[in-house]
Homo-oligomer: A and B are copies of this chain.
């Protein structure tokens, strides 16, 4: 049995997932006492890769009252995926130090480079230790729809919860986050409420599924409609085509960057449609390169060429392409790269 809920986006999906994780771990009266309980263990902790702290988790732990120190950053490997061996070691050390781990977060398409963690390894660690595994697939969970990529997602089916944003890769209008869970009972334990003006009806069989009992909101828009309509219109195969088109653009960009003497590769071949790299004509130090890349992205944006933003990858300012729109072509990508070179000089 599984359960699903439409939410506003990745932030609320991650917030809800962590609240479910907390509900499963809590040995005290969580609804009544919250984190104020005198019986709460000293430091509840969550684990994720160190290379990209997605701001949705900052917002989630802020909102949940856990605090940002609750997030423990695990070393990532050269391909930007979390190191499961380092995770295991950190868990041992933290438990020895008196902390209480309760959740592991894996990424299926990280925000800056589109990395997909080894979800199977994470599921193994989570199961062995009784921790909640949440897969944040805001950017990339839907890539599992592609048979040729499915092996990259092995283990996602063992996660306790998975989230993705239909308003990203699926092109559905804002706001349209999706939260899935293999534990519907935990959804109700985390979010169940009652009130005299809500639950007094004897015809309970008519109200078997109250969405307000499964997530943070009461009043809710009809988000399912736009997803259903988009799926009816494009079909799963249509979406597979869109996904392949955007991934092809990202790979094309990678090939161009690899071949260009004045651009620098900073990540392996892209797993998905997100790709970071930087302009580097040589002879400049890191500070100058950071400033130059910031200026290039600004010029590209201000002149209306494209909406490219910078990010930091291992501390260096990089160009970040997020080719989520299937109408983007190889020619567009080539043109933006050429415009960047022009604006740099």
Contacts and interface: CB of A to CB of B under 8 A. Distances in A.
B175 A217 contact: yes
A231 interface: no
A58 B216 CA distance: 10
A64 interface: yes
A19 interface: yes
A248 interface: no
A9 B217 contact: yes
One complex includes copies of this chain to the number of 2
Contact of A35 (B31, B67, B202): B67
Interface residues of A, number: 75
A69 B64 CA distance: 16
Given A10-B219, A70-B36, A309 B197 contact: yes
A188 to B, nearest CB: 12
A195 B32 contact: no
A181 interface: no
A59 interface: yes
A40 B69 CA distance: 15
B37 A67 contact: yes
Nearest to A320: B197
Contacts of A167: 219
Interface stretch (A49-57, A75-83, A235-243, A337-345): A49-57
Nearest to A30: B67
A63 B19 contact: yes
Contact of A63 (B53, B56, B202, B216): B216
Given A31-B68, A32-B68, A165 B219 contact: yes
A61 interface: yes
A165 B193 CA distance: 20
A53 B195 contact: yes
Interface string A211-253: 0100011111110000000000000000000000000000000
Contacts of A309: 197, 200-201
Interface stretch (A85-93, A147-155, A310-318): A310-318
Given A32-B69, A54-B195, A197-B309, 6 more contacts: A8-B221, A9-B219, A36-B44, A36-B69, A112-B197, A174-B221
Interface of A: 8-12, 15, 19, 29-37, 40, 42-44, 53-56, 58-59, 61-70, 111-112, 165, 167, 173-175, 177, 190-191, 193-198, 200-203, 212, 216-222, 294-295, 297-298, 302, 309-312, 317, 320
Closest 4 pairs between A and B when the two form their complex, measured CB to CB: A34-B67, A65-B65, A196-B312, A197-B311
